[in-house]
Amino acid sequence: MAEPQVAIRCRGLTKSFGEGEAQVKALRGVDLDVPLGELLMLVGPSGCGKTTLISIIASVLDHDSGDCEVLGRDLARLNAREKARLRRADIGFVFQAYNLIPSLSSAENVAVPLLLNGVGRREALAKAERVLESLGLGGRGGGRPNDLSGGQQQRVAVARALVHEPRILVCDEPTSALDEKTGDTLMRLLREVALREGRALVIVTHDNRIFKYADRIATMNDGRIVSMDSRVS
C-alpha cells in the first residue's frame, strides 16, 4: 500500500449514544483532515463531542456513519483483530481519566504497550523508565500510580501512550493536572517525539497556555467542527 500523506481523514462522521428519547447525538457530521507532521488541538465546550471524536480516531469506539481513515486505513472495514493490531502498532491514547492499572507499578503501566508488541520484559521496563525520566519522573517508576500526585499520574499516562513511538498520538486534556512549567516540558516533549518522521498528534484541551504548541486549532460545538484556525508560530 502507498504511504498515506494524510494521518487522519474524517467525513460526515456521526455517533449517537442510547436510544429513543434518551438518545444523545455526540457527533453530527465531523469533517477533519490531519496531515502527517501536524499537531492539531481540539477545543470546545464540555459535552460537544471531543472525547467521542478522538476515541473513534484511536479506534477504541466505533462510529455510526460517515468515514474515518487512519493512516490510510478505513476503520469501518477493519475487524476487531485488525483494529487491535492498528492500536498496538500505531496509536497512543492518553485518556481523560488516565486509566492506569492500579495493581501494576508505574513503570509496568508504561511498559504495557511494549509488552503487547512482543518486547522483552527487561527491555520494556528499561525503556519505560527512560520515558518516565524524560517527563520528570526518574526513580518513581517502581511505586504504584495511586501513590503519585494527580499531575504525576497524568505524566505516567502520557509516558504509556508514547513509549512504543506510535505514529498517531491522541491526548485527552494531557495538561489538566499540570502546573505551567511541567505542562511546557510535556508539550515540548510531545512535539519532539510525536512529530518525528511523519507522525501526527491530536490534543483535546481547555488549557490556553499550551495553544502556542499547536499547528492548527479546531473548535467543536454540538457534535461538529465549527472553525479551524492556523497558528503562526
List residues binding Mg ion (CB under 5 A). 51
49 makes contact with ligand ATP (CB under 6 A):
yes
24 makes contact with ligand ATP (CB under 6 A):
yes
Q: Closest distance between ligand ATP and the C-beta of residue 132, in Å?
A: 26
C-alpha distances (whole Å) from 221 to each of 32, 175, 180, 212 are 14, 22, 27, 22
Beta bridge partners of 170: 93, 202
C-alpha cell at 200: 501526527
Residues 194-233: x/- map of binding to ligand ATP (CB under 6 A)? ----------------------------------------
The CA R_g of the chain, rounded to the nearest whole Å, is: 17
Q: Are strands 65-70 and 73-74 parallel, antiparallel or unpaired?
A: antiparallel
Q: Which residue from 30, 34, 52, 218 is in contact with ligand ATP, where contact means CB under 6 A?
A: 52
Query: Binds 17, which of Mg ion, ligand ATP, none (CB < 5 to 8 A, cut-off by type)?
Result: ligand ATP
The residues in 78-107 that bind ligand ATP, with binding defined as CB under 6 A, are 96
C-alpha distances (whole Å) from 99 to each of 14, 200, 232 are 25, 22, 34
Q: Closest distance between Mg ion and the C-beta of residue 122, in Å?
A: 36
Structural contact between residues 134 and 185, judged by C-beta atoms closer than 8 angstroms: no
3-class DSSP state for residue 140? coil
Query: Binds 24, which of Mg ion, ligand ATP, none (CB < 5 to 8 A, cut-off by type)?
Result: ligand ATP
- Chain contacts with ligand ATP (rule: CB under 6 A): 17-18, 24, 26, 46-52, 96
